[in-house]
Amino acid sequence: MPVLKYLADTNIVSDYFRSGNPVKEWFASHRGEIGISTLTLTEMRQGIELQGKTKARIALERIFDFVLEDYREAI
């Protein structure tokens, strides 16, 4: 596992999924150097739970699953 140089907080991870945000470029240029804390994952999961049974929740759960899969080595 490579040494991680950055720890992305909840706001940065949330911004990643918003359109028109330069955060995606930053993530792409630092691939393999960014970690995500379990606290950030917990905050994301709590936000999903607050959505209730909606289409928005289903979409957020897909994004959450993507984060867990894509960053499984950096959590």
How do residues 7-40 score in pLDDT, each as one tens digit?
999 999 888 888 888 999 999 999 889 988 889 9
Closest to 41 (Cα-Cα) out of 68, 62, 61:
68
Q: Go through 20-33 and write b for each residue having 16 or more CB atoms within 10 A of its CB, e for each that does not.
A: eeebeeebeeeeee
Single pTM value for the model: 0.71
Q: Which residues pair with 8 in a beta bridge?
A: 36
Q: What is the span of the domain harbouring residue 50?
A: 6-74
Residue with more model confidence, 64 or 3: 64
Confidence of residue 71 (pLDDT cuts 50, 70, 90): confident
Nearest Cα neighbor of 13 from 36, 31, 33 is 36
pLDDT of 1 above 60: no
Residue among 1, 4, 10 at smallest CA distance from 64: 10
Residue 1 lies in a domain: no
Q: Is residue 64 included in any domain, yes or no?
A: yes
| Residue 43 counted as domain residue | yes
Q: Is residue 48 part of a domain?
A: yes
Domain count, the chain: 1
